Structure 1
């Protein structure tokens, strides 16, 4: 989304090793690289197979409807230095890798930045961490299993987009969730996906109060940015 990330006061914090990793990223971590674009073969094949907008319009009985349909986005693939965790992102965006202290570092956070320079999402791979939950009332907009993480230990990784409400505060989240999020009364818990000897965490970065209401959140999800970030989360894999 747009703006600067503001974490709500009641958002579940990470503890144990992840908290230490986050501190190291903010303090003494290192920016490893800004990854240049390199379109994946599969994405290129998809893009080349798509008809041009003019051809689509002339072949359709409703040219205006065809012209408004978004063209398939070209995708790049980013793979963490450990060689295990990877994900896809739009070709016009970039990825910067931040590593924790130590040599070699056991933790790394990939920050996904769009063409305007706005940080859109983070993907963390590193040591095991714990989470702390808080009671909330949840409205789930959408969730789905992540195919590339299906072989990892339960609870199964899910892409999830929902809003948690506590008192008068509403926190919108799109992230990897451990298991399918359930609507109604429950607990807010950061998604900690166990993979190999560590964990994976992935979050879309929202500003404070990013949506005026749930209808605005659903409208954003249906748009180009929402669909790109949904696809990114669903593409995360571990091998």
Structure 2
């Protein structure tokens, strides 16, 4: 089962995101520097340059009180091999991905840097997006959550609290299931909870990293767990767990 469509929660970037006419950069597998072609991710929208940041810029869904214990990965996991490293133009944010996949960078602004790295698998299907900028907003709503896995990301533990976690879970609203695999501020809480915006603080900037799932990607929670234990699930888990900011 292959994720295909972006599901980032209503992200608003800085004023420079309006520069959609900018040249987009692309990075091929194993490259440390972006190339020359990309397209603007549909999940990002422009923010007014004259509008000052509001209180909505606070991290939504942050779990600052008593995160649940991290769960261990399934015992039957297929650990990916042959990884390449992608580093953003700022030289500080990086992640690893399968060497036969590719990364394309959309750069909305060079200074300060604002952009999104989109990761595609060997067949060309979009698998994940990693955005970094200065401002983002999130939307929260009541959900009932089942957490499959949540583990702190080693390369982001020196950043401001709440600590960044890789998380895979399902939120349900009126029997409609929304599966998410992304970075979360703290560990998501099982049971009744609010939807998570997934906004991570890195220094004076923010980071959003999420796997792109199609609508209703899994027939059941057991199917989701089986996918996680397989090669594609473990490749995307490894990607999110490898994100670091120096």
Q: TM-score range by the shorter chain?
A: 0.7 to 0.9
Aligned: 1:32 with 2:25: yes
Aligned: 1:142 with 2:149: yes
Which residue number corresponds to residue 87 of structure 2? Answer: 79
Aligned partner of residue 180 in structure 2, secondary structure: strand
Q: Residues 71 and 179 from structure 1, CA distance in 2 versus in 1: closer, same or farther, beyond 3 angstroms?
A: closer
The list of structure 1 runs, each at least 4 consecutive aligned residues, that deviate by more than 6 angstroms after superposition, is: none
Higher helix share: 1
Unaligned runs of 5+ residues in structure 2 are 33-75
Within 2, Cα distance between the matches of 1:221 and 1:155? 25
Aligned partner of residue 130 in structure 1, secondary structure: coil
CA RMSD of aligned residues (A): 2.4
Following superposition, the deviation at residue 35 of structure 1 comes to 2.0
Contact 1:76 1:88 in 2 (8 A): yes
Following superposition, the deviation at residue 33 of structure 1 comes to 1.8
Aligned: 1:89 with 2:89: no
The higher radius of gyration belongs to: 1
Aligned partner of residue 216 in structure 1, secondary structure: helix
Equivalent in 185, 194, 207 of residue 200 of structure 1:
207
Aligned length: 203
Within 2, Cα distance between the matches of 1:123 and 1:14? 12
Unaligned runs of 5+ residues in structure 1 are 40-67
* 1:133-183 CA-partner distances (Å, limit 9, x unpaired): 110000000010000000000010000000000112110000000100110
TM-score, length basis structure 2: 0.75
Following superposition, the deviation at residue 18 of structure 1 comes to 5.7
